[in-house]
């Protein structure tokens, strides 16, 4: 397998026209797949199946090279990675790409690091797909927080010590609105 199988830009793929075809007749579908914290052994069986059956895999920066190696040669792999201040595609371009590929009748795997619904914008992508009438489903992944703490031998909850855990993003669209003093008083670990 070569680096990302097929180097295709989001803008190139989005240029395909779906014409006036009815959405429900396209046969395309999207699976939002959580790739976990990077170890291929931590993928769910369902996540691996979605990767292997996909016609198109749209992959994030946070997906490990080891998991990218599981993408079949027959699938078109499209990198839409984001890093602070450096985006290969905007979120609206990614949403459009998902919709366009499903309208072309493709089985699309949107492969995201960790879990798509934990700081992964999976909710935004699901809403855009549902608004477009696209069949979409979620395949949960192990979040980086639980995977890393588990590998480090640190329980996120422990009877008599911690009744829960809190996940907080370090990034916000405008500004972080977190009551840090309240979190410091809490017995729930961050």
Q: Which residue has the tokens 């909850």?
A: 157
Catalytic residue among 3, 60, 112, 174: 60
Mean pLDDT score across all residues of the chain: 82
Q: How far is CA 190 from CA 64, 66, 153, 158, 183, in A?
A: 25, 29, 16, 14, 8
Catalytic residue status for 60? yes
Residue range 148-170, pLDDT digits in tens: 888 899 888 888 887 788 787 77
Q: Decide which of 180 and 56 is more confident.
A: 56
> Has residue 16 got a pLDDT over 70?
no
Catalytic residue among 73, 82, 135, 177: 82
pLDDT score recorded for residue 24: 46
Catalytic residue status for 106? no
Residue range 106-132, pLDDT digits in tens: 999 999 999 999 988 899 999 999 999
Go through the domains of the chain in sequence order and give each one's CATH number: 10-145 (3.40.1010.10), 156-190 (no CATH)
pLDDT score recorded for residue 84: 65
What tokens appear for 107 in the block? 């089985």
pLDDT score recorded for residue 158: 86
């Amino acid at each position: 397998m070569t680096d990302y199988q097929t180097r295709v830009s989001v803008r190139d793929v989005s240029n395909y026209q779906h014409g006036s075809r009815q959405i429900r007749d396209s046969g395309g579908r999207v699976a939002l797949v959580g790739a976990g914290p990077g170890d291929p052994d931590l993928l769910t069986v369902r996540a691996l199946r979605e990767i292997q059956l996909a016609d198109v895999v749209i992959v994030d920066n946070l997906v490990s090279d080891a998991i990218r190696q599981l993408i079949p040669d027959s699938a078109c792999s499209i990198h839409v990675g984001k890093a602070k201040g450096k985006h290969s595609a905007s979120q609206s371009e990614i949403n459009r790409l998902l919709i366009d590929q499903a309208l072309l009748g493709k089985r699309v795997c949107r492969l995201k690091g960790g879990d798509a619904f934990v700081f992964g914008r999976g909710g935004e992508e699901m809403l855009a797909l549902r608004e477009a009438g696209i069949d979409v489903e979620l395949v949960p992944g192990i979040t980086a927080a639980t995977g890393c703490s588990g590998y480090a031998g640190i329980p996120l909850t422990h009877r008599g010590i911690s009744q829960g855990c809190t996940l907080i993003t370090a990034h916000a669209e405008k500004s972080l609105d977190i009551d840090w003093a309240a979190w410091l008083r809490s017995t729930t670990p961050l």
